[in-house]
Structure 1
Amino acid sequence: MALTPPLQPMLAEARPTLPRDSALPGGLAFEQKPDGYRAILFAGRDRAVLQSRNGSDLGPAFPEIGAAARVLPPLVLDGELVVAAEGHLDFGELQRRSRYRGATARNAARTASAHLIVFDVLDTADGPLLDQPYQARRALLEGLFADGILGPPFALCPATTDRTTASDWLDPAWGAVGIEGVVVKGLAQTYQPGRRGWLKVRARASAEAVVGSVTGRVTAPSTLLLGRYDSDGRLRFVARTAPLSRTASREVGARLYWGDEMHPWQGRRFSAGWGSKETIDHRPVVPDVVVEFTGDTAVDAGRWRHPVRYLRVRDDVSPEQLPLVDG
């Protein structure tokens, strides 16, 4: 095997809509983007390394993947590590499992098994495939599944060259089961480690929440911290917007008032982003302004994982009319 860990994965650049055929070499292929961890598997009878996107070894946390990898012929596979539960991909359970080791990890492998959804093959016993076009690598990958060489816990990532099918995958209904969107690849593209040569389009849907706090000035906020109430009447943080336009900032700021010392978010610390230890300098406001926003389908226990985009104020909706958040 020519390829050894760590290997930088090829990456995707975000786009708001599906591109046209001329965007990438050789025409376009569209793949589903599952909600999981990017992982490269170095498999073979003498090794099993499950490498994360940043180069760390996920193997100790997911021993069932390693066990299956050790009975494979020499292969390097690129894919998305997922955990499924109750008919959808459960990112929260995947996060919990990533922290387990030893007997705890082995027990979790039996009760909440992981799968690797494979979308590329990068190396075989015959040599590396990085310089081969995507179309050739995909055909080889499909053959590995068709011939029974790859099977559970490995799954073939759905792919199509039909733009209409890819558009259907952006429906929020797919998001509800854990498909974040679509990755677009050129049929003639080679695999270029570390380069953002693919394109990614996230599925998005609109929702409403109450403005609980802001960054910047209350009368002209930079971003909004959004909340919904839970069944106990607590205001729970659910999302943060991307920076507002000047028009949006004026529109929302004209309706906001400083929150007093009894505000539930006074003194509360919020993370600046998913996985970040940096906190936000924010200013609580009276939680009576409801706004509509669009966000992707990565939602964990009612909380949007990525920044959302402000659309408009909803004067016709009160905070009490919003869906409750629990979990």
Structure 2
Amino acid sequence: MTLSAASPISPMLAKAVGTVPEPDSVPGGLSYEPKWDGFRGIVYFDGDTCEIGSRGSKPLTRYFPELTDAFTRLLPGPCILDGEIVVRTGAPGRERLDWETLSQRIHPAASRIRTLAELTPAVFVAFDLLGQSDTSWLDVPFGQRRTALEELLGGLGAPIHLTQVTTDVELARRWLVEFEGAGLDGVVAKPLAAAYAPGKRVMLKTKHQRTADVVLLGYRVHASGSGVGSLLLGLHDDNGNLVNVGGASAFTYARRLELVDELAPLVLRDDAGEMVRGETERSRFSAGRDTSYVRVRPTRVLEVRYDQMEGARFRHTAQFFRWRPDRDARSCTFEQLERPVAYDLSRVLL
């Protein structure tokens, strides 16, 4: 097979399930592993040079020079690896994954990337072997791919790690609870007898599901120009200030149009009767995008589903659940949020 990002392999994906599935729920059983919260990376090493492709096959190579250097020095031979690029921060014994620090690596300036590679170096957590030398492993059952991965990478050391695996469902359920304290995202279950299926949702993922009552700050118009695209959400901090904590989206076309009329009485207007607009903070991921939004009176409360927090924001886009007309907006504070017990990341990495 061609060991090059010029012929990219689309990563195998996971379907969300509510609970960690029983091992006998699929033929041949399941293998469980932590769900890492970083950049998905497919590593192509031809024996001399290394390239890293993203989930969308976009090149990540230039952003992680410390990893490409490690791959060329440490890998014993040509191979294709599937895994996650993460950054670990914190004092020894209190390390955790740091998404914000990782996201800073997507920067246009090579000098800035080199500096960050030295200050906050990334690590690669491997969880699958897709090819070795000129042999494709895509059609090989996962159980055999995992054994071969351990033989290939065992003992290499940082910054190349193996993800932990188990066939014990009770241990996997413990991981779901404990590993969140180190910044991990949940648990993935992989059919032991399944081949690698590029772009297909063969794996099963279980993530944390929580709800929170939040204040509506405003809404963004949908990219089509019609209807509400997303709702902006806020919580009161210890000083009573409303803090933007993220957004909720994924509304149907009909619901987007309904929300415009539904929220119209709350929209703030200036003396000329024009809608008052605000603008959210820009990031490297929103460069060139319209970050403006229509402001509303912060009096309406809604309940949203979310998985985890990253600092003072929802790590991923929240899901609208229901309006809460019974709640006073002033009562929506950070205190309601469940905080995981801290867990040292070094106990998760192999």
Instruction: Give the shorter-chain TM-score range.
Output: 0.7 to 0.9
Report the Cα distance in structure 2 between the residues aligned to 1:225 and 1:101, rounded to whole angstroms: 31
Report the Cα distance in structure 2 between the residues aligned to 1:164 and 1:312, rounded to whole angstroms: 36
Report the Cα distance in structure 2 between the residues aligned to 1:307 and 1:75, rounded to whole angstroms: 38
Alignment of 1:205 onto 2:220: no
> Which residue pairs with 2:89 in the alignment?
85
> Which whole-Å deviations, capped at 9, do the CAs of 1:75-133 have from their partners, x for residues lacking one?
21100001111222111111111225533222211110100111011112362211111
Report the Cα distance in structure 2 between the residues aligned to 1:240 and 1:102, rounded to whole angstroms: 32
Alignment of 1:228 onto 2:235: yes
Shift of 1:193: 1.6
> Which whole-Å deviations, capped at 9, do the CAs of 1:198-224 have from their partners, x for residues lacking one?
1222122333321223589xxxx9974
Report the Cα distance in structure 2 between the residues aligned to 1:211 and 1:231, rounded to whole angstroms: 18
Residues 208 and 36 (structure 1 numbering): CA distance in 2 closer, same or farther, change over 3 Å?
A: same
> Which residue pairs with 2:56 in the alignment?
54
TM-score where L is the length of structure 2:
0.75
2:180 pairs with one of 161, 175, 179: 175
Please say if residues 15 and 201 of structure 1, whose CA atoms lie closer than 8 Å, have aligned partners that are also in contact.
yes
> Which whole-Å deviations, capped at 9, do the CAs of 1:298-325 have from their partners, x for residues lacking one?
535424422234266384665266139x
> Which residue pairs with 1:192 in the alignment?
197
Tell me how many residue pairs correspond in the alignment.
311
Instruction: Give the % identical residues.
Output: 32
Report the Cα distance in structure 2 between the residues aligned to 1:278 and 1:15, rounded to whole angstroms: 33
Alignment of 1:160 onto 2:171: no
SS in 2 for 1:159: coil
SS in 1 for 2:51: strand
1:319 pairs with one of 297, 309, 330: 330
1:75 pairs with one of 79, 87, 105: 79
Shift of 1:138: 0.8
> Which residue pairs with 1:307 in the alignment?
318
Corresponding letter in the other structure for 2:157:
G
Report the Cα distance in structure 1 between the residues aligned to 2:197 and 2:250, rounded to whole angstroms: 32
> Which whole-Å deviations, capped at 9, do the CAs of 1:229-266 have from their partners, x for residues lacking one?
45786533223335689xxxx9xx9999514337xx93
Corresponding letter in the other structure for 2:16:
A
Corresponding letter in the other structure for 1:310:
F
1:1-327 to structure 2, matched below 5 A, reads 2-5=2-5, 6-71=8-73, 72-73=75-76, 74-86=78-90, 87-99=95-107, 101-125=109-133, 127-146=135-154, 148=155, 150-171=156-177, 174-213=179-218, 224-229=231-236, 235-242=242-249, 258-261=266-269, 266-269=276-279, 284-297=295-308, 299=310, 301-310=312-321, 313=324, 315=326, 318-319=329-330, 322-323=333-334
Q: Which moved more, 1:150-159 or 1:303-312?
A: 303-312
Corresponding letter in the other structure for 2:4:
T
Report the Cα distance in structure 2 between the residues aligned to 1:44 and 1:200, rounded to whole angstroms: 31
Please say if residues 130 and 191 of structure 1, whose CA atoms lie closer than 8 Å, have aligned partners that are also in contact.
yes
Residues 151 and 174 (structure 1 numbering): CA distance in 2 closer, same or farther, change over 3 Å?
A: same
Please say if residues 231 and 248 of structure 2, whose CA atoms lie closer than 8 Å, have aligned partners that are also in contact.
yes
> Which residue pairs with 2:340 in the alignment?
none
Corresponding letter in the other structure for 1:169:
W
> Which whole-Å deviations, capped at 9, do the CAs of 1:133-161 have from their partners, x for residues lacking one?
10011112223343x2x321111112211
Corresponding letter in the other structure for 2:174:
D
TM-score where L is the length of structure 1:
0.79
Q: Looking at secondary structure, tell me which structure has more strand per residue.
A: 1
Corresponding letter in the other structure for 1:286:
R
Corresponding letter in the other structure for 1:237:
N
Please say if residues 246 and 313 of structure 2, whose CA atoms lie closer than 8 Å, have aligned partners that are also in contact.
no
Residues 269 and 25 (structure 1 numbering): CA distance in 2 closer, same or farther, change over 3 Å?
A: farther
SS in 2 for 1:13: strand
Report the Cα distance in structure 2 between the residues aligned to 1:236 and 1:109, rounded to whole angstroms: 31
SS in 2 for 1:166: helix
Please say if residues 236 and 332 of structure 2, whose CA atoms lie closer than 8 Å, have aligned partners that are also in contact.
no
> Which residue pairs with 2:348 in the alignment?
none
Report the Cα distance in structure 2 between the residues aligned to 1:105 and 1:278, rounded to whole angstroms: 23
Residues 209 and 304 (structure 1 numbering): CA distance in 2 closer, same or farther, change over 3 Å?
A: farther
Residues 21 and 278 (structure 1 numbering): CA distance in 2 closer, same or farther, change over 3 Å?
A: farther
